[in-house]
């Protein structure tokens, strides 16, 4: 347990909790459009205050992703991005930033590298956690054992359709934080959060002491304001990937990412009183 308490992810959530502030977790696809651009984007996100950064490992068949991240994955694969390349990028980022980093991947690239080799090199490079979108708790025992042995947090997804029995299982398999999907569906920015999200969050709270991060469909400061007091962190992905997609240059993309995250962080810090009122 001492390991969990001293991990970068746990420390960051402890700090956020102490400050009564909602964390901002950002997702971008590594290698979109190149790994060196991604390094600059990660440093920009960290500088703007991102609390945790998820680095998407591009996959040919991103089942859980909507069109925005599908296109990002295609661009990243086209530029030759591999899992080994993404891990090397983590190592590079660690030369200049201690921001908590989560590798967000589908299972097959990890399986092909080998679970043990992956865990060893990812941990050595400085990754803090792993989220495998298409690995179910039922199939995860060996994976979790290996990740834990290398001090990598294992983050699992819970959905609005997860039953109470399943939430028990998901919570037991998760470390670092629990990722709650806000609505049924794939990744992608939406205008409004679902009405039943507060009730869902309260239900999930009954099953875990871990911080709860809410993702899928979150893009705007107003979403973050609503989540203050209910969740521990908001995950923003497709909205950031869209900025990268439409930017005229990597520099313009970095600037847009910084502005996005600053606005989200500002909304999160203003949600402070609501959070204390409901906790």
Partner 1 sequence: MRMLGAEVIGVESGSRTLKDAINEAMRDWVTNVRTSHYLLGSVLGAHPYPTMVRDFQAVIGREARAQILEAEKRLPTHLYACVGGGSNSIGLFYEFLKDADVKLVGIEAGGRGNGLGEHAARLAAHQGFSGARPGVLQGTYTYVLQNEDGQIASTHSISAGLDYPAIGPEHAWLADQRRAEYAAVSDQAALDAAQLLSPTEGIIPALESAHALAGLIERLPQFKPSDLVIMNLSGRGDKDMDTYTRLLGKLT
Complete DSSP assignment for 98-160: ---EEEEE-HHHHHHH-HHHHHHHHHHHT--EEEETT--GGG-HHHHHHHHHTT-EEE-EE-T
Strand partners, 103: 55, 130
Torsion, CA 129, CA 135, CA 141, CA 147, rounded to 10: -20
Nearest to 230 by CA among 199, 207, 263: 199
Q: Which of 21, 32, 51, 65 is the catalytic position?
A: 65
Give the shortest CB-249-to-partner 1 separation in angstroms: 27
Give the shortest CB-89-to-partner 1 separation in angstroms: 15
If binding is defined by CB under 8 A, does position 53 make contact with partner 1? no
If binding is defined by CB under 8 A, does position 70 make contact with partner 1? yes
Note if 65 is an active site residue. yes
Report the run of H or E that residue 168 belongs to, with start and end. helix 164-173
Give the shortest CB-190-to-partner 1 separation in angstroms: 11
What is the total count of residues that contact partner 1 (CB under 8 A)?
26
CB nearer partner 1, residue 63 or residue 259: 63
Q: Which of residues 209-228 bind partner 1 (CB under 8 A)?
A: none
Position among 161, 163, 209, 249 found at the interface with partner 1 (CB under 8 A): 161
Note if 54 is an active site residue. yes
If binding is defined by CB under 8 A, does position 111 make contact with partner 1? yes
If binding is defined by CB under 8 A, does position 82 make contact with partner 1? yes
Are 184 and 159 in contact by the 8 Å Cβ rule? The answer is: yes
First to last CA, the chain: 25
Q: Could you give the CA distance from residue 27 to residue 233 in angstroms, rounded to a whole number?
A: 13
Q: Could you give the CA distance from residue 150 to residue 116 in angstroms, rounded to a whole number?
A: 9
Position among 96, 98, 184, 206 found at the interface with partner 1 (CB under 8 A): 184
Give the shortest CB-167-to-partner 1 separation in angstroms: 17
Q: Which residues bind partner 1 (CB under 8 A)?
A: 59-61, 63-64, 66-67, 70, 77, 82-84, 106-113, 134, 136, 161, 184-186
Active site residues: 54, 65
């Amino acid at each position: 347990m001492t390991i969990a308490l001293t991990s970068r992810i746990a420390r960051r959530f402890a700090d956020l909790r102490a400050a009564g502030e909602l964390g901002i977790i950002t997702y971008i696809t590594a290698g979109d459009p190149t790994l060196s651009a991604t390094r600059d984007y990660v440093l920009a996100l960290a500088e703007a205050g991102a609390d945790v950064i998820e680095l998407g490992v591009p996959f040919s068949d991103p089942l859980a992703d909507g069109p925005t991240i599908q296109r990002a994955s295609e661009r990243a694969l086209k530029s030759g991005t591999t899992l080994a390349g993404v891990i090397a990028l983590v190592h590079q980022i660690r030369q200049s930033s201690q921001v908590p980093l989560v590798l967000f991947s589908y299972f097959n690239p990890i399986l092909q590298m080998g679970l043990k080799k992956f865990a060893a090199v990812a941990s050595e490079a400085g990754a803090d956690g792993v989220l495998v979108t298409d690995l179910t708790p039922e199939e995860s025992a060996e994976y979790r054992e290996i990740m834990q042995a290398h001090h990598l947090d294992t983050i699992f997804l819970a959905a609005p359709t997860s039953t109470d029995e399943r939430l028990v299982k998901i919570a037991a398999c998760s470390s670092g934080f629990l990722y709650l999907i806000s609505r049924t569906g794939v990744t992608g920015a939406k205008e409004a959060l679902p009405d039943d999200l507060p009730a869902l969050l309260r239900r999930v709270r009954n099953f875990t002491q871990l911080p709860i991060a809410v993702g899928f469909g979150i893009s705007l400061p107003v979403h973050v304001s609503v989540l203050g007091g209910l969740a521990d962190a908001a995950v923003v992905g497709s909205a950031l990937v869209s900025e990268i997609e439409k930017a005229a240059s990597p520099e313009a993309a970095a600037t847009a990412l910084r502005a996005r995250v600053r606005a989200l962080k500002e909304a999160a810090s203003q949600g402070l009183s609501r959070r204390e009122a409901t906790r």
